[in-house]
Structure 1
Amino acid sequence: MLRSLWTAATGMVAQQFQMDTIANNLSNVNTTGFKKNRADFQDLVYQQQVLAGTPATAVSEIPTGVYFGAGTRVAATQKLFEMGSLQATGNKFDLAVTSEVGFFKILMPDGTFSYTRDGSFKIDARQQVVTSNGYLLEPPITLPPGAINNTLQVSEEGEVTVRVGDEIRPTKIGQIDLFRFVNPAGLQAIGNNLFKETMASGPEIQGTPGREGFGGLLQGFLEMSNVKIVEEMVSMIVAQRAYESNSKSITTSDSMLGTAISMKR
């Protein structure tokens, strides 16, 4: 009887984790470039009382065994990098990648690099292109003195041009490259819409937007979160019902245990 109590408890813990994951997804439904999380579960080790294939007689074997499961546990959480919807902003410094393939590279204050799908860039006091937190885009893009900001143009292939002073023809001031990974699900999310390279993700692969399988760049647009509210709400209901079922198992097991204890001769 005690086995069922602990087994059901693992189910309740798992569903609580599922709810935590869903809540995080829903809280970031309007976060630019956010990629939703998915929780994966595994069944726990089995206790074997009778092993399948054990000889029953001299000429036959037991066809099936007797196994007791120990419940479930969280096996992994995974970022799903499917494309989010594109939203027009009209802002010259907003950029979106037009496919799932491609990250912007960001220089961190400690000299390391991180990667993001959030293309809501801005200009700081030094005329450098930075993120909302002031981190530099890599390779760096700096507007020259006298540049007219509202003439900034970013082509689909990442070429950045701007008019300077009284010049009629725009001047090329830099090139925005994109980066991809063999296993983007292996990237480490560190907050602020940023990801870190890990051994699981593999090393970065640099490329030109719109070429070699990379998505192109779209100026004046942002990629929104790929969280779908309806899907998350359905998952929430399923998790809630599973939690209730496991709690009912504990209640029933407790009732049966109480009946056994209260039996009289």
Structure 2
Amino acid sequence: MLRGLYTATAGMMTQQRRHDTVTQNIANINTTGYKQVESIARSFPEVMVALRSGDEGRDNRNVGKLNTGVFAEESISMMVQGDITETQSSDDLALISDIQVANPQGGNVMFDASGKAVLANGQTVYKPQAFFNVENPEGGISYTRDGDLNLAADGRLVTSMNQNVLGQDGQPIILAGSMDDYWVRENGTIFNKVTGAASGRIGVTIAEQPNGLTRDGEGLFTEKTQGAGALRAATDADQFEVKQGYLERSTVDAAQSMVDLTAALRAYEANQKIVQFYDKSLEKAVNEVGRVN
């Protein structure tokens, strides 16, 4: 009896995790460059159920396999291109990434809406993505799609969370005046509108395995394990574009998020009913079945 109680409890915990993930997505529906997060769940390992002394001459007889519960394994970010919206502000930069991957069978790999593809040999590949280079609070390099930038009082080009935007040389970008005095080329090079001189180039990194990056808060992604993201510096040959006066919107689908939120709530309630049923059954077994008249 307790096996079912534990299974229902595991289901409640998983649906709570799913509910929290969807709530996080909805809260960031207007966050620039935010990547929707999906909660991945899987069942506990199957166990073999056997009936002891079931057959003549045998100690037990196999009844079949049984899953003993489910758990939220991880939460992954959907690394896909978000919609681009025009702001007409010189401070805003959108990063458009459409990097192709050659298919061993010929042509380019065709990715699905989640940025994933399965090749003919069974190999799973993910579409590479471009990221702006920024300085994280620890002084290292992190990556973001948040192009809501501005110039600090000391001339540093910073994100909306006051993180230094790094140039191609790995150093913070320092500009004089305001961003209205500059225009940014498609490859990230910043030019002074008056003198026409280059004032730096925004550092852009290509993550060949974007799902290998870890969400680090404040719109940042970090490569926690060396080589997990297969990072490399972007070149002019890569299919990416920096657009000034535009921002990349969140990839959260509001309608689908509300459906997922309701589904998680209903599944939680169903598991809750099962727990209540077992609770009443145990109460009856303790208080009535075992009663001695």
Please give the TM-score of this superposition, normalised by the length of structure 2.
0.77
Kept in 1: contact 2:183–2:193 (CA 8 A): no
Kindly provide the CA deviation profile for residues 211-241 of structure 1, in whole angstroms up to 9, marking residues without a partner as x.
Answer: 323x211110111111111111000111111
CA distance 1:108–1:7, shift in 2 (3 Å): closer
Q: Deviations over 1:149-180 (max 9, x none)?
A: 4231111122211134xx5xx22212223112
Return the offset for 1:192.
Answer: 1.4
- Per the alignment, residue 130 of structure 1 pairs with 158
Per the alignment, do residues 131 and 148 of structure 1 end up closer, same or farther by CA in structure 2, a change over 3 Å counting? closer
SS of corresponding position for 2:48: strand
2:73 to 64, 72, 75: 75
Structure 1 residues 134 and 248: alpha-carbon distance in aligned structure 2, compared to 1, 3 A threshold: closer
Pick one of 181, 185, 188 that aligns with 1:155. 185
Tell me what 2:228 maps to. 201
Partner of 2:145: 117
The answer for unaligned runs of 5 or more in structure 2 is 99-128
Residues 67 and 109 (structure 1), Cα distance of their counterparts in 2 relative to 1, 3 Å cut: closer
Shift of 1:245: 1.1
Q: Following the alignment from structure 2 to structure 1, what is the Cα–Cα distance between the partners of residues 211 and 140?
A: 20
* Letter of the 1:150 counterpart: D
Mapped to 2, the partners of 1:143 and 1:72 lie a distance apart of 53
1:81-111 CA distance string (max 9 Å, x none): 1122212111112100122621000123543
1:9 aligns with 2:36: no
CA shift at 1:137, angstroms? 1.5
- Structure 2 Cα separation of the partners of residues 239 and 110 of structure 1: 37
Matched ranges for 1:243-262 at <5 A = 243-261=268-286, 262=288
Aligned-partner SS, 1:246: helix
Code of the aligned partner of 1:143: L
Per the alignment, residue 142 of structure 1 pairs with 174
User: Would you identify which runs of 4 or more consecutive aligned residues in structure 1 move more than 3 Å?
Assistant: 255-261
Over 3 Å counting, the alpha-carbon distance change for 1:174 and 1:158 in structure 2 is same
Structure-2 residue corresponding to 1:91: 89
Whole-Å separation in 2 of the counterparts to 1:251 and 1:103: 49
- Report how far residue 141 of structure 1 moved: 3.0
Alpha-carbon distance change, 9 to 183 in structure 1, aligned in 2, over 3 angstroms: same
Amino acid at match of 1:111: G
CA distance in structure 2 between the aligned counterparts of 1:134 and 1:21, rounded to whole angstroms: 26
| Amino acid of the structure 2 residue aligned with 1:179 | T
SS in 2 for 1:96: strand
Is residue 226 from structure 1 mapped to residue 272 from structure 2 by the alignment?
no
Instruction: State the Cα distance separating 1:18 from its structure 2 match.
Output: 0.7
2:249 is the alignment partner of 1:217: no
Cα distance in 1 for residues equivalent to 2:258 and 2:137:
38
2:213 is matched with: 187
Query: In the aligned structure 2, how far is the partner of 1:223 from the partner of 1:249?
Result: 44
- Quote the sequence identity (%): 31
Q: How many residues align?
A: 251
Which residue identity does 1:153 align to in structure 2? W
Task: Give the drift of 1:259.
Answer: 4.2
